[in-house]
A and B are shown apart, each in its own frame.
Chain A
Amino acid sequence: MSLAPDTVDRMLRRRRRHRGLGIRGRLVLFATCAVLGAMGAAGGLLLGAQADVAFDEGRDRAAALLESLAVPSAMAVAQGAIERLDDQLTEVARAAGPRMGLSFVAMLDVRGRVVAHSGAALFQGAADARIGGGHDLDPAFVARALASQRPLWRRDRAASDAGVLDLAMPAVSGLRWGTLVARFDLAPVARSAARTRLVLIFAAVLLTVAMIVGLSIGISRIVVRPIQILADTAGALQSGDLEARARVRTRDELGQLARGFNAMAEELQSYTSSLERRVQERSREVELKNEQLEAVNARLQDAVSELERLARLDGLTQVYNRRYFAEVLDFEVRRSARAEHRLTLIMLDVDHFKRLNDTFGHPAGDAVLRELAQILTASLRSTDIVARYGGEEFVVLMLDTPRAFGLELAERLRAAVARHDFTAAAGEAVGSVTVSVGVAAYPDDATDGDRLVSRADQALYAAKAAGRNAVVVWDPGIAPAGAC
């Protein structure tokens, strides 16, 4: 599979552009903004609530302290043990003062007069024993506290840096024996609130960082990594690696996408491989066809050459025909002239062939001719060219053969024929057949093919004339055939 180079380039460019602030970057940015926003809002609420909680806790602690003092104080008043109560309250303020910011605690009787006080105020206030006297509590608050069956609290933020908290607790032991009042400075509460706030802020910052990191890792693992894998796989597929698969095994939408993607890649791969297979098949088919064609060609070539061979042969005797012989003679004469070789041409004719035909019939004559051709072919060398010249007349061209050797061969030939028992068709004996042979040689007797043939023919006639079954070499004494 291949893509146009400019397409790939475009794709790569697009991928690179996405990498600038990829999906990871944007998701992490989004998560960071979301976490910061949520933590900011939650932190703001938390810090506000924390301040209130700190105050409530401080107030409840103070109230618990006062309530634990209320019944003993009531009992002390009931028994008139005021001095002891005064000592006790003084001790409580000494012990709890610095830790809880307890400025003073005082017992008021049912009429609101201070009967016991942790500080020196009792003695200052004792001079004018009036409601709300002997302490610097808000008179209205004290009046309300004296009338109330329930404990009251009052916070004055302006009274000190951190503000003050006034508490009033009814001192009841069967009867209402008085009211325990106390003032708490809120500085310790504010200090512990500030400490808690620092811890909270530190924890919130840690939590925020942890959440951002966690979310980033989570986003990365859950979303970005699969997408990256998908993108990388797509890239690999693009660059031709059809084996590439997105290894995302989650069950979520990305896993689904990856499975779809892998299925597509699978399909692509199988489609491509089937395409390749088909191309291979097709080329194999073509090869096969080529081979077949070649075979046909070869056969055709064979047929052609056979045809050519057949065209060169005589149909009855399977030796060359006269037309081909004429070509060869011409060629060989020219070649021998160039190479200064010698040629001998012999021409032979079956004696009394007409009588043979008449006696045994034409098929027998044909059989004699075929047998004669076989004897010629068998008796001669492979370089000798045998051809049927026409009727019962054959011609043999002996290449590179001087006249004397040609004559000897011709004589051998004549003798071989004379020795041979010819048979007609169906085994009928024909008896002996003889041939008359004329011999002419190049360049001794003639210097061109036509003349060589006619000289041999003249010699043949001479042999016929000499009584047949004889070999005659042309010599100038032999009269031309026409002259015979």
Chain B
Amino acid sequence: MTGRDLRAAGAGWHPRASVTPEPALRRPLAIAAFALALLGCGEAVDEGVLAGGPPPAPEPPADQALALAPEERPPDRATLRFGVTPAAAGVTYTHELFDPVVRYLGRTLQTPVELVVAPDYQALIDGVVGGDVDFAHMPPLAYVLARRQRPELQLLASQIAYGATSYSAYIVVRADDPAASLADLQGRRVAFVDPRSTSGYLFAYAALIEHGLAPERTFSEVRFAGSHMAAITALREGHVDAAATASGMLGIAARDLPRPTPGASDATELRILFKAGRIPYDALVASPTVPASGAEKIRWAFVRLSTRTAEGRTVLGPSDGTSGWAPAEDRSYDDVRQVLARVEAQRGHRLDAPRPDLAAPAAPTEEATGVLGP
């Protein structure tokens, strides 16, 4: 309780404000009210700050110029390299989504920005860790893995999508699938997105092992589709019986994926079989080579870009769900780290170890990359 609250509590009910009680009770109440009125100052208005409420949302300084000075850029770099993944739907689509953002950044930072679409999550991690990209839009697990290799990475912000700061990992099946629980997936075929995907692999994997189902032994076939849309497509077309994906992807899939041709055995209706955890959206990360003040300007350039403004709505219009970016702290991704630790303990090796682990029994990487570009 604040001091103001205490004062308000002491003031009690203003006689005018109290409800008129039964006549028989009026006198003692009147005396009590009178005493309280004597105690209190009898102000008509009191106000205060409520307990609770949302966490504070930092705003960029209103009139700060965000143009990057030469010394705020990475050394010997004329054009900033902005790394993204083709997570949602492949390279071309990714360009469609991010090109307006890149143009906005160029304008705002007064610096040329180049979009680098990594072929897969590991490539983006390698790019960020190796300094090939200056800042990157990284899925949560990719960020956690990259940060583990390179703790100097600067977390600038977290993406806000569909107005939310976090999403869920789903394991989905076709609506007419008989499976009622994860255990019913025994011996079935399943599609993950990418071994570095948070919702499309890590959280689903963790959910499976929590239910005593080791993916390597449980399923007759495991494939990495490469993107969420590819995984959902594989499910819809009957190549697999279940797919791991993110909560926002079903709506996009329903809207964007091609209608099934009449007579084809293509099921558009999907059903959420399992919902695993809440995952913070993608992390906006700056390479350690970007000077801190430059990274700060990049951060505010992103935070300013939101659907709160007309410009933001224009820039993010094609982004399909991205509402903006909010300043973030590394501990938001601690949940991801915990799940990662569980999965790595189960699998017996680190997820960010060099490629050999991708040669999982029934998951040839070639197939995954093969469905990348639609």
Contacts and interface: CB of A to CB of B under 8 A. Distances in A.
Q: Are A and B associated in one complex?
A: yes
Nearest to B159: A174
B49 A186 contact: no
Contacts of B306: 78, 175
B307 A78 contact: yes
B164 A169 contact: no
Interface in B1-22: 8-9, 12-14, 16-19, 21-22
A274 B162 CA distance: 109
B29 A197 contact: yes
A48 B163 contact: no
B7 to A, nearest CB: 11
A154 B46 CA distance: 6
Contacts of A141: 47
B199 interface: no
Contacts of B303: 175
Contacts, number: 155
A158 B160 CA distance: 42
A151 B54 CA distance: 8
Contact of A80 (B13, B21, B165, B313): B313
Most chain B CB neighbours (cut-off 10 Å) among A71, A79, A190: A79
Contact of B45 (A51, A155, A167, A177): A155
B50 interface: yes
Contacts of A110: 308
B54 A177 contact: no
B125 to A, nearest CB: 24
A153 B50 contact: yes
Contacts of A149: 53, 56-57
Most chain B CB neighbours (cut-off 10 Å) among A44, A48, A77, A172: A48
B323 to A, nearest CB: 4
A27 interface: no
A167 B160 contact: no
B21 to A, nearest CB: 6
B19 A162 contact: yes
B17 A190 contact: yes
Contacts of B9: 52, 56
A67 interface: yes
Nearest to B11: A52
Given A75-B163, A157-B44, A174-B165, A198 B21 contact: yes
Given A79-B162, A173-B160, A174-B324, A67 B14 contact: no
A63 B50 contact: yes
Contact of A152 (B50, B57, B158): B50
Given A175-B324, A193-B19, A170 B53 contact: yes
Interface of A: 43-44, 47-48, 51-52, 55-56, 59, 63, 67, 70-71, 74-80, 109-110, 141, 148-158, 161-163, 167, 169-177, 186, 190-191, 193-194, 197-198, 201
7 contacts: A47-B32, A51-B12, A78-B324, A152-B47, A152-B50, A175-B324, A201-B28
Q: Which 9 A-B pairs have the closest CB atoms?
A: A75-B163, A174-B326, A78-B163, A78-B323, A154-B47, A172-B54, A151-B50, A174-B160, A151-B53
